[in-house]
């Protein structure tokens, strides 16, 4: 196998965080209540007048328009709440990723020029039998250097890359670009990306790592890192790998290990 798989102690099953409506959101709905009531009452009054003059068919049309306007207002309010809580949900994870970067910088003198990136992936889709088929990048990249900080919400099949391997095996995966190979060729040959996918990925990457959170068969997240420094993650039981592996604990705590 072209990359190294390193077994690690299993964590317990993890539950996803629950999104709750805050007091601020409830207050916002209360403030907007007169506007919502106004829309409903105004629509009913207009519908009655139109029905008296043009018949109930026309009045029903006005009712539908009024209901659409009411639902649009409610959807706007709830959409704003969802967006705000979604960004807040990831704040602790962003902090974990930043601390991981700082720790790696403190242990590896190559880190400052290593253009490190780190992100978290979670399960996305399963087939009818419950087998995981694809994963999703939950966070944007936390990075050092000029690395791209975006990436959240992208998905990929579970059979691709070190991330997919970590999800499937429940073991940490470390990899590096072999001498004499391009990134595109290596990702195609070793990690089952098609050539178009591989050519769109960062071509300056030289080392990759994937740390699972959860036990084999029940992996609920994977911490992914890459660097442009060859063999950045070093050898088994080395200081860099120990730092990477320690990051699984705070991520598990955020995801509420029971």
Q: How many CA atoms lie within 13 A of 180 on its CB side?
A: 0
Reported as a single tens digit per residue, the pLDDT across 188-240 is 999 999 999 999 999 999 999 999 998 888 899 999 999 998 888 988 888 88
Q: What is the reported pLDDT for 36?
A: 55
- Non-local CB neighbours of 13 within 8 Å, separated by 6+ positions: 214, 215, 218, 220, 257, 258
Res. 245: pLDDT tops 50: yes
Both 130 and 231 in one domain: the answer is yes
Is the pTM value of this prediction over 0.75? no
Give me the number of domains the chain comprises.
2
| Cα–Cα nearest to 232, from 119, 109, 141 | 109
Both 118 and 240 in one domain: the answer is yes
The whole-number average pLDDT for the span 16-21 is: 44
Domain end call among 43, 59, 88: 88
Both 179 and 189 in one domain: the answer is yes
Both 182 and 209 in one domain: the answer is yes
| CB-CB contact of 145 with 114 (8 Å) | yes
Domain end call among 88, 112, 141: 88
- State the residue range of the domain holding 198: 4-16+90-254
Both 222 and 236 in one domain: the answer is yes
The whole-number average pLDDT for the span 85-104 is: 71
How far is the CA of 31 from the CAs of 36, 44, 112, in angstroms? 10, 22, 50
Predicted confidence band at 14 (pLDDT cuts at 50, 70, 90)?
Answer: very low
| Cα–Cα nearest to 38, from 62, 10, 66 | 66
- Give the CA-trace dihedral at 206, 3, 117, 153, to 10 degrees: 130
Q: What is the reported pLDDT for 253?
A: 78
Both 173 and 207 in one domain: the answer is yes
CB neighbour burial string for 73-88, b if at least 16 within 10 angstroms, e if fewer: beeebeeebeeeeeee
Domain end call among 88, 117, 139: 88
Highest averaged pLDDT of the listed ranges 9-23, 66-80, 88-102: 88-102
Average pLDDT of the chain, as a whole number: 76
- Non-local CB neighbours of 66 within 8 Å, separated by 6+ positions: 39, 40, 42, 43, 44, 46, 47
Reported as a single tens digit per residue, the pLDDT across 57-91 is 555 555 555 555 555 555 555 455 444 444 445 66
Both 79 and 192 in one domain: the answer is no
Both 74 and 198 in one domain: the answer is no
Q: What is the reported pLDDT for 235?
A: 87
């Amino acid at each position: 196998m072209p990359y190294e798989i390193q077994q690690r102690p299993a964590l317990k099953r993890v539950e996803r965080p629950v999104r709750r409506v805050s007091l601020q959101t409830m207050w916002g709905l209360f403030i907007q209540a007169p506007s919502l009531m106004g829309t409903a009452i105004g629509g009913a009054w207009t519908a009655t007048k139109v029905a008296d003059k043009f018949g109930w068919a026309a009045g029903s049309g006005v009712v539908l328009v009024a209901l659409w306007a009411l639902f649009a207002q409610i959807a706007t309010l709830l959409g704003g709440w969802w967006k705000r809580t979604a960004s807040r949900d990831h704040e602790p994870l962003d902090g974990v990723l930043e601390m991981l970067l700082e720790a790696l910088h403190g242990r590896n003198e190559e880190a400052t020029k290593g253009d490190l990136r780190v992100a978290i992936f979670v399960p996305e889709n399963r087939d009818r039998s419950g087998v995981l088929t694809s994963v999703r990048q939950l966070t944007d990249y936390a990075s050092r250097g000029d690395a791209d900080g975006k990436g959240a919400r992208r998905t990929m099949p579970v059979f691709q890359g070190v991330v997919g391997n970590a999800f499937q095996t429940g073991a940490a995966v470390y990899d590096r670009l072999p001498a004499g190979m391009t990134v595109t060729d290596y990702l195609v040959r070793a990690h089952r990306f098609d050539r178009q996918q591989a050519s769109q990925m960062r071509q300056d990457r030289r080392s990759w790592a994937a740390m699972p959170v959860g036990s084999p068969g029940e992996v609920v997240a994977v911490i992914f890192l890459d660097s442009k420094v060859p063999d950045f993650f070093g050898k088994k039981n080395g200081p860099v790998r120990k730092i990477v592996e320690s990051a699984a604990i705070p991520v598990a705590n955020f995801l509420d290990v029971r």
